[in-house]
Amino acid sequence: NHALSTNSSNVTFDGINVLQANFSGITVGSATGLSLSNANISNTGSIGIFVSASTSATLSNLNISNAGLHGLVVSNSSNQVYNSVTVAGVGVNGFNLSNVNIVSGSGNTSSGAGGVDCSTSGVTNSTLLVNGASCP
């Protein structure tokens, strides 16, 4: 289902390439201090990268493409940093957020998809993710 899944704290993943996964390329749950950088995630059945219930995650220089539903899904997570996360060719939304606190971010793009979906409340500083993103 997942090419890589972790719930460990203070983990660094650098240079991971996922070519195909049935559900998600990378899944992170209940982790603190994750650093994920320089990754290429493509051809996932549902989600490129899924982060839930995680604190202080830094995602940078990521390319996500051809996900069945969403590129990056983040829920119930705080102190998030997103830099140069590029999403293209996904089925529904590039970024799907719920109850997320973003503290820093720049250079993130979503093309060929619905952009940012944050229809639920509790998303703060969404414009740091994608300029112009308006979240309740």
Q: What is the pLDDT of residues 43-87, one digit of tens each?
A: 999 999 999 999 999 999 999 999 999 999 999 999 999 999 999
Please, which pLDDT band fits residue 128 given cuts at 50, 70 and 90? Answer: confident
* Better-scored residue on pLDDT, 5 or 131: 5
Beta carbons of 20 and 12 less than 8 angstroms apart = no
Give residues with Cβ within 8 angstroms of 15, minimum separation 6. 37, 38, 39
Give dist(CA 28, CA 31) in Å, integer: 7
Q: What is the pLDDT of residues 18-35, one digit of tens each?
A: 999 999 999 999 999 999
Please, which pLDDT band fits residue 130 given cuts at 50, 70 and 90? Answer: confident
Q: What is the pLDDT of residues 91-126, one digit of tens each?
A: 999 999 999 999 999 999 988 667 888 766 788 888
- Cα–Cα distances (Å) from 2 to 25, 49, 61, 120, in that order, read 6, 10, 20, 25
Q: Tell me, what's the pLDDT at 129? A: 84
Beta carbons of 121 and 104 less than 8 angstroms apart = no
Average pLDDT, whole number, for the chain? Answer: 92
- CA 42 from chain centre, in angstroms, equals 13
Q: What does the domain layout of the chain look like in residue ranges?
A: 2-128
Classify the phi-psi angles of 68: left when phi > 0, otherwise alpha if psi is within -120 to 50, otherwise beta. alpha
Q: Tell me, what's the pLDDT at 111? A: 83
